[in-house]
Structure 1
Amino acid sequence: MDDIDERIIKMLNTNARESFATIGKSVDLSAPAVGKRVKQLEEKGFILGYSLRLNHEKLGVNVKAYINLKIHQSSTIRTAYNQIRYLDEVQRCDRITGEDSLCILAYFKSNKELVTLLERISQYGVPNTSLILES
C-alpha cells in the first residue's frame, strides 16, 4: 500500500459512494486507475466492504444503550456471543476483558423493547445497562 492507496481509502472512508473520477482528480489518477486500485485493495483485504449510515431517529429509534454482560460461566461466553450478536436490536457485540465478558450496543424503538432484550440475554449473565443520551 502506498500513499495514493491511503488517500483513496481516506476518501472512501469519508464517502464510500464517492466516484472514481472525483477520487482520481484528488490523487492525480484516471477513474479507471482508481477503480483498479480499489479492486486490488478489496482483493488484498484492506477494504472489507461498504456500509450504510442511517438516521436512526427518523426510523423510530428512540432508545440506544450499551449493555455490559457479566457471563454466569466462562463456558457460555462463546454461546452467548454467537446468539446475541445476531439479534435484530444489536448493532455491535464485542468480547471484552475485565469483569464483564460482552459489550453490546443496541437500538430500540421503546424502553419496552430494551426490557425485552434484557430479559432474553439475562439467561447468559448479569446485564449492566447505560443509556446513550447524546452521540
Structure 2
Amino acid sequence: MRRPVPAPAPEADIDAVDQQLLTLLQTNGRASYAELARQVGLSAPAVHERVGKLESAGVITGYTAVVDPAAVGLGVTALIGIIDSDEVDDVGMLEAMSDLPQVQDCWRTAGTEGYVLKVRVTDIPALEDTINALNRVRGVSRTRTTVVLSTKWEGRHGRSE
C-alpha cells in the first residue's frame, strides 16, 4: 500500500487558545468538543469551529490510535540511515520507501545520511530483508542501521497516550 507524501502545511495564525487546543488534542485526540471547551473556556461550537479551521489549514493532519508494536507482532524497531548515491532521484526514492509497509517514519536529514527511516518488523531476518530491499532502491548508495534495544518513550516528551 502506497502512502502519500504529505505536502508541507502553510503557516497558519495560531493564537494561545489554538495552541492550547493542539496540546489537548495531542494528549487525547478523542476528547469531545465539550471537554475541550471546558478546558479552554469556550463553547463547544466555538471549539468545533476552531478545530475545523486547524484541520482545513493543514495544522491538524489526522487522528490516530497509538498501538503497542509488540502486541501486533512488530518486536524489532530500527533506524535506518539512507546514504544517497550520485544518481539520487528523490521522488523515486520516496515512492520506493513509502511502498515498504515496514517504514513507519521518514525524515530528510542534513549530513552523511540523506534520509533516516524508522522501521518496525517482526524479527531480525525481516529487518535484513528490509535493508536488502532499501539497498536495491535506485539512488541508495548504502544504508546504516541502528537497532533499537528498548523504547523509553515515543511522542512528545514521553507523555503516555
With the length of structure 1 as denominator, give the TM-score of the two structures.
Answer: 0.91
1:77–1:101 CA contact under 8 A, matched in 2: no
Identity of aligned residues (%): 27
Which range moves more in the overlay, 70-79 or 24-33?
Answer: 70-79
CA distance in 2, matches of 1:98, 1:78: 19
Deviation at 1:49, TM superposition (A): 1.8
Matching of residues 13-92 of structure 1 within 5 Å = 13-92=26-105
1:65–1:129 CA contact under 8 A, matched in 2: yes
In structure 2, list runs of 5 or more residues that go unmatched.
Answer: 1-13, 152-161
CA distance in 2, matches of 1:84, 1:44: 27
Q: 1:95: which partner in 2?
A: 108
Quick check: which has more Rg, 1 or 2? 1
Deviation at 1:74, TM superposition (A): 4.1
Deviation at 1:42, TM superposition (A): 1.4
1:63–1:109 CA contact under 8 A, matched in 2: yes
CA distance in 1, matches of 2:133, 2:59: 36
CA distance in 2, matches of 1:45, 1:114: 34
RMSD (Å), alpha carbons:
1.5
In structure 1, list runs of 5 or more residues that go unmatched.
Answer: none
Q: 1:10: which partner in 2?
A: 23
Q: 1:116: which partner in 2?
A: 129
Which range moves more in the overlay, 50-59 or 74-83?
Answer: 74-83
Q: 2:117: which partner in 1?
A: 104
CA distance in 2, matches of 1:69, 1:47: 29
SS in 1 for 2:89: helix
Q: 1:125: which partner in 2?
A: 141
- Aligned residue-pair number: 135
